[in-house]
Structure 1
Amino acid sequence: MIRFENVTKRYRGTAKPALTDVDFEVLRGEFVFLVGASGSGKSTCLRMILREETPSEGRVVVLGRDLRTLSNRKVPYFRRHVGAVFQDFRLLPTKTVFQNVAFTLQVIGSSRGFIQQAVPEVLALVGLAGKEKRFPHELSGGEQQRVAIARALANRPQILLADEPTGNLDPATSVDIMQLLARINAGGTTVVMATHEAGFVDQMQRRVIELSHGEMVRDERHGGYGDTSSLPSLAPEPERGAAAVAALTAVLGVQREAAIAAAAGLDPTIVPDDEDDAAGAEEPDAAAPTPSVAPASRAPIAPAASAQPTAPAPEARTPEPDAGADEDAADAASTPAKPSTAQPPTIPVELADIDVEELGLADRLGLGRDDADGDEVGPTS
C-alpha cells in the first residue's frame, strides 16, 4: 500500500537531511502512528505520500505507483485516492458545511447526483447530520475538524493521512476524533497519523513508527508512544504578588491590634505634624482605608498594643516611634517627618471600626484613594 525504500530527503539550504535512509511498508487496512519530536521528519513523510515532496534518494511507492516517475499532470488523479486532514482544518469560510465537503467532488468532476448522495452519507458518518447549512464560524473546533475529515473521505479514498488532527482540540473532543478515525479504519481505509498525543497511542496499541532527527529508530506493532521526554509539559507557574500578600498581611495585623485596643478601652491616635493634617484629622473620613503605606508627611502609627495612648509631642523634640511597633507596619510606613521647632498640639482622633471582610482588595492594601498631599501610591509588584 505504502512503501518507503531507503528514502533520504534533503532540503535546499540545510546541512542535515530531513530524512535519512528511512525504510518501512504499510499494509492495506493498517492504522499507523508516526511519532517523534518536532523536526523528526513526520510531516515530511506525509508530504511524500501525498506527492508534495519527492525523495532525494530512494523511492516512495504508493498504491503501486513510484511517485518519482509520476508526472505532475497525473498528480491530481493520484490524490483522488489519498485523503488528508490537517491540524488547522483548512475550511472555506464563505461556504457551508455541505459546500465545503462537496467542493472536492466538484473539482474532480463528480456528477451532481453523486454529490447529492455522497455528501449527506459522509456527514452522517462523521456525526454532522443536520448541520449541512451551517458555516465554519458557527461550528466548534471539533465540528470543524469533522468537516475536514468528511471532506477527505468524500471521494472514498483508500488512504487517509492525518497530520496532528487533534492538535487544536480540547481533550474530550480529541477523544471523539480518535474514535471517528478508528471507525474509518475499521471500514477498510488505511490511516497514517502523525501525532504527539502519547495517551492515544498508548491506549490504542496500534503500529508505531518512531522517528528521531530524520532517522527511523523503532517500528513496533501494538506499541506505545515510547519516550515522552521531548513532549512539552505544563510546569506550575511561579507564585506572583508576594509583595501584595505581605502588605495585606501587615494591614490585617494592624486591624487585629486596633480591635484588641478597642476591646481594652484604648483609643489609637494619629499624630499630624502640620496644620493641614491637623485640620484634616478633625474630620476623619469614615470610608478611608486602613493605613498600610503612610505618606511621607506623616509620622508612623502608634501601635495599639501600648499600655497608654500616645502623649502629645513636646515643642522642642521630634516624636519618636514606639520601639515595640509592629515591624510590618513600620516597613510599610515612609520616612518619619522632619523635626519642627513649633508643632501644634496633638489632636487625638478615634479610628472608626472597620470590618476587614467588607473591604475590597484595593482598600485592604491601602490603595483605595489618593493621599492627602497628592502623592499617588502605585500597586505593589
Structure 2
Amino acid sequence: MIRFENVTKRYKGTSKPALNNVDFEVLRGEFVFLVGASGSGKSSCLRMVLREETPSDGRVVVLGRDLRTLSNRKVPYFRRHIGAVFQDFRLLPGKTVFQNVAFTLQVTGSSRGYIQQTVPEVLALVGLDGKEKRLPHELSGGEQQRVAIARALVNRPQVLLADEPTGNLDPATSIDIMQLLARINGGGTTVVMATHEAGFVDQMQRRVIELRHGEMVRDERHGGYGDTSGLPSLAPQEERGAAAVAALTAVLEVQREAAAAAAAGLDPTAVTRDESSDAPAERETDPSTAPDAAAEASAPAIPPRPAPPTPTAPEPESEREPESDPEPQPAPVSHTQPIPVADIPEVDVAELGLADRLGLDRRDDDEVGPTS
C-alpha cells in the first residue's frame, strides 16, 4: 500500500537531512501512528505520500506507483485516491458545510445527482447530518474538523492521511475524532496519523513508527507512544535569590523585636509602632515639650470625666489649679519625670490606654501633686 525504501530527504539551506534512510511498509487496512518530537520528520513522510515532496535518495511507492516517475500532470488524478486531514481544517470560509464537502466532487467532475446523494451520506457518517447549511464560523472546532474529514472521505479514498487532527481540539472532542477515525479504518480505509497525543497512542495499541532526528528508531505492531520520562516537568521550583533572603531576614528581625517586647512586659504592637516612627525620637530629645504633645495626641483616646455642676468657659492650662482640674493633666517636668510602664508591674498593660502605656496619665496626684 505505502512503501518507503531507504528514503532520504534533504531540504535546501539545511545541513542535516529531514529524513535519513527511512525504510518501512504500511499494509492495506492498517492504522499506523507516526510519533516523535517536532522536527523528527513525520510531516515530511506525509508530504511524500501526497507527492508534495519527492525523496532526495531512495523511493516512495504508493498504491503500486513509484512517485519519482509520476508526472506532474497525473498528480491530481493520483490524489483522488488519498484523503488528507490537517490540524488547521483548511475549510472554505464562504461556503456552507454541504458546499465544502461537495467541492471535492465538483473538481473531479462528478455529476450533480451523484453529489446530491453522496454528500449527505458522508455527513451522516461523521455526525453532521442536519448541519448542511451552516457556515464554518458557525461550527465548533470539532465540527469543523468533522467537515474536513468528510471532505477527505467523499471520494472514498484508499488511504487517509491525518496530520495532527486533534491538535486544536479539546480533550473530549479529540476523543470523538479518534473514535471516528477508528470507525473509518474499520471500514477498510488505511489510516496513517502523525500525532503527539501519547494517551491515544497508548490506549489504542495500534502500530507505531517512531522517528527521531529524521531516522526511524522503532516499529512496533502493537506499541505505545514511548518513554515520556525525559519530557520537561511543569512542577514549580523553589524560589531563591537575594530578594527571598532579604524578605526572610526582615521577618525574623520583626519576630525577635516582638519577642523582646513581650519579655519586657510591653505591648509588642505598641513597641513596634514607637520604634518604626521618627516622632517619638524627637520628643525624647526635648523633655520640656514631651508631656504636652503626648497628652494632646492621646486626649481623644481617654474617656472624659463628668463635668462639674456649673460649667464655665475653659481657662488656659497655665491658669488651672492642679487639684481642681477634673481632666487629667501631666505633672510639671521640674518636679517629677514620667514613670515608665515597667515600674508599675501590678497594672495589666493590655487594659491601659495609649497615654497610660507612655506614662503620661497621672491618676496618683496625691503622691506627686504640689498639695501633697
TM-score between the two structures when normalised by the length of structure 1: 0.66
Separation in 2, partners of 1:178, 1:117:
26
Letter in 1 for 2:278: P
Separation in 2, partners of 1:43, 1:330:
67
Q: CA offsets, 1:289-344, max 9 Å, x none?
A: xxxxxxxxxxxxxxxx9999xxxxxxxxxxxxx6x5249x959x965347265574
The answer for unaligned runs of 5 or more in structure 1 is 251-304, 309-321, 351-381
Change (3 A) 1:307 1:335: closer
Q: 2:278 aligns with which of 303, 324, 336?
A: 336
Separation in 1, partners of 2:230, 2:92:
34
State percent identity of aligned pairs: 82
Q: Does 1:159 align with 2:101?
A: no
Q: Is the Cα contact below 8 Å between 1:10 and 1:16 reproduced in 2?
A: yes
Q: Name the larger-Rg structure.
A: 2
- Partner SS state of residue 208, structure 2: strand
- Corresponding residue for 2:70? 70
- Corresponding residue for 1:32? 32
- Corresponding residue for 1:372? none
Q: CA offsets, 1:25-45, max 9 Å, x none?
A: 001110000011111111110
- Partner SS state of residue 155, structure 1: coil
Separation in 2, partners of 1:167, 1:143:
14
Separation in 2, partners of 1:58, 1:326:
83
The answer for unaligned runs of 5 or more in structure 2 is 252-261, 302-372
Query: How many residues are treated as equivalent by the alignment?
Result: 282
* 1:102 CA drift (Å): 1.3
Q: CA offsets, 1:40-89, max 9 Å, x none?
A: 11111001001111100000000111111111111111111111111111
* 1:91 CA drift (Å): 1.4
Change (3 A) 1:99 1:15: same
Change (3 A) 1:138 1:216: same
- Corresponding residue for 2:99? 99
- Corresponding residue for 1:170? 170
Q: 2:268 aligns with which of 312, 321, 325?
A: 325
Q: Does 1:57 align with 2:62?
A: no
RMSD: 3.4
Report 1:245-260 matches (<5 A): none
- Corresponding residue for 1:269? none
* 1:3 CA drift (Å): 0.3
Further displaced range: 43-52 or 137-146: 137-146
- Corresponding residue for 1:126? 126
Change (3 A) 1:236 1:84: farther
- Corresponding residue for 1:191? 191
- Corresponding residue for 2:144? 144
Change (3 A) 1:122 1:237: farther
- Corresponding residue for 1:218? 218
Report 1:272-311 matches (<5 A): none
Separation in 2, partners of 1:172, 1:101:
24
Change (3 A) 1:81 1:326: farther
Separation in 1, partners of 2:160, 2:131:
23
* 1:238 CA drift (Å): 7.8
- Partner SS state of residue 175, structure 2: helix
**Structure with higher helix content:** 2
Change (3 A) 1:24 1:307: closer
* 1:162 CA drift (Å): 0.4
- Partner SS state of residue 181, structure 1: helix
Change (3 A) 1:107 1:228: same
- Corresponding residue for 2:330? none
Change (3 A) 1:339 1:153: same
TM-score between the two structures when normalised by the length of structure 2: 0.68
Letter in 2 for 1:336: D
Q: CA offsets, 1:330-360, max 9 Å, x none?
A: 59x965347265574443456xxxxxxxxxx
Change (3 A) 1:79 1:233: farther
Q: Is the Cα contact below 8 Å between 1:85 and 1:165 reproduced in 2?
A: yes
- Partner SS state of residue 339, structure 1: helix
Q: Is the Cα contact below 8 Å between 1:35 and 1:42 reproduced in 2?
A: yes
Q: Is the Cα contact below 8 Å between 1:37 and 1:230 reproduced in 2?
A: no
Letter in 2 for 1:217: V
Change (3 A) 1:195 1:232: farther
